């Protein structure tokens, strides 16, 4: 009997496949569908800083006109068709979603400044969340802002939330920190229990006909997993933190690789949007088949086996690999001229 169980943020999970934040959790009935398909835990789509700010502004104007007390001020929540739902409905869905399944449900806050975050993480705790994922999706464009100032701001945010809730906290971050391992350690010292690596940055495209900058969300490709495997393998054992991989996990081999790199869980969105939630079952049986064939009895047994501290040649994750990689490319000159346009 293969043991797929794992531990993430102190939560005991039946397997390492977690559904990452996505529109899949916008509908209550999908919580049970995801559980039935085999998901070990669900991260809800994010409550965005912009939604919280909009709510605060609304409360402010309500108080200004003296028409309501703070406690009742949620009735002033603005219409936010742009953001799907406001904070009030988010918390309601979180509460009902959690009650409809027996697997852990993780609330998600998405932003980059303290704002109402502390308050909303408390609300998520009250609504029944098993943990909170803080997504620091940020695009620092101010040339006066140093990397250190930015990291300190994020750590202060984690510290503030840590003080106000008991729930485990994971931080979903981007890959562009100058010293990623150091930042992961700082987050852990600030009170984060885990890191979710990495956010995908959805850069907009240029529409040459309309001369506009347009949003263009493309689902991930399995190739994107490489960056995550690389960093999980580096963080494993070096930083005391739970590790979740998100980005490019599409099939059983991707989950197995994530475990071997040192992750505790592998999260999925794109593959589920593409193939349907039942794809989780395919992934889990694929894992079991591979593990049986290769005589693994548990996920714990393979965790970190391909991490930087455990492989024979750690250089594979360092600069030496760069040279080897470039040297491994074979270019066949087809003789055709390079096309320009
Ligand atoms: C349509 C869509 C909506 C998403 N919404 C959120 C969100 O609300 N909050 C968040 O942290 N990530 C969100 N994500 C990112 C996913 O959680 C995930 O990190 C990312 O898609 C990479 O994983 P994948 O390769 O399995 O898709 C969204 C992704 C997609 C495709």
**264 or 320: which carries more pLDDT confidence?**
264
51 lines ligand 1 (CB under 6 A): no
What is 6-327's CATH number? Answer: 3.20.20.70
Contact 157, 110 (CB under 8 A): no
Q: What are phi and psi of 270, to 5 degrees?
A: -50, -45
Mean pLDDT of 212-241: 94
248 lines ligand 1 (CB under 6 A): yes
Ligand 1 centre distance from Cα of residue 269 (Å): 6
Paired tokens of 36: 């039935």
pTM: 0.89
Residue nearest to ligand 1 atom 19, measured at CA:
246
171 lines ligand 1 (CB under 6 A): no
Q: What is the separation of C-alpha 76 from the centre of its chain, rounded to a whole number of angstroms?
A: 31
Please give the number of the atom of ligand 1 that sits closest to the Cα of 268: 26
Residue owning tokens 């977690």? 18
Instruction: Give the pLDDT confidence of 172-220 residue by residue, as tens digits.
Output: 999 999 999 999 999 999 999 999 999 998 788 899 999 999 888 889 9
Instruction: Give the pLDDT confidence of 144-160 residue by residue, as tens digits.
Output: 999 999 999 999 999 99
Report the alpha-carbon distance of residue 242 to residue 248 in Å, rounded.
Answer: 19
């Amino acid at each position: 009997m293969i043991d797929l169980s794992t531990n993430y943020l102190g939560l005991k999970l039946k397997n390492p496949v977690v559904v990452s934040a996505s529109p899949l959790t916008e509908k209550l009935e999908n919580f049970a569908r995801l559980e039935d398909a085999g998901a070990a835990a669900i991260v809800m789509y994010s409550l965005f800083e912009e939604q919280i700010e909009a709510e605060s502004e609304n409360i402010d104007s309500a108080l200004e006109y003296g028409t309501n007390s703070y406690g009742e001020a949620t009735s002033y929540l603005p219409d936010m068709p742009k953001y799907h739902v406001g904070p009030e409905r988010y918390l309601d869905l979180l509460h009902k979603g959690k009650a409809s399944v027996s697997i852990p449900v993780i609330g998600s806050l998405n932003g980059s400044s303290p704002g109402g975050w502390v308050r909303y993480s408390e609300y998520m705790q009250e609504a029944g969340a098993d943990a909170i994922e803080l997504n620091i999706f940020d695009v620092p464009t101010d040339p006066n802002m140093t990397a250190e100032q930015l990291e300190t701001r994020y750590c202060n945010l984690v510290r503030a939330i840590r003080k106000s809730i008991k729930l485990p906290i994971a931080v979903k971050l981007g890959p562009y920190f100058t010293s990623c391992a150091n930042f992961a350690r700082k987050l852990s010292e600030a009170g984060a229990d885990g890191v979710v690596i990495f956010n995908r940055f959805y850069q907009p495209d240029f529409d040459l006909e309309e001369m506009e900058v347009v949003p263009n969300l493309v689902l991930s490709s399995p190739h994107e997993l490489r960056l995550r495997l690389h960093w999980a393998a580096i963080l494993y054992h070096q930083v005391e933190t739970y590790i979740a991989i998100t980005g490019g996990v599409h099939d059983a081999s991707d989950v197995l690789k994530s475990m071997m790199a040192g992750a505790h869980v592998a999260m999925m969105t794109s593959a589920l949007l593409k193939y349907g939630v039942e794809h989780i079952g395919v992934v889990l049986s694929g894992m079991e088949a591979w593990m049986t064939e290769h005589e693994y009895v548990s996920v714990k047994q393979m965790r970190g086996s391909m991490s930087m501290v455990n492989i024979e040649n750690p250089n594979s994750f360092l600069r030496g690999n760069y040279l080897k990689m470039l040297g491994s490319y074979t270019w066949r000159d087809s003789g055709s001229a390079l096309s320009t346009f």
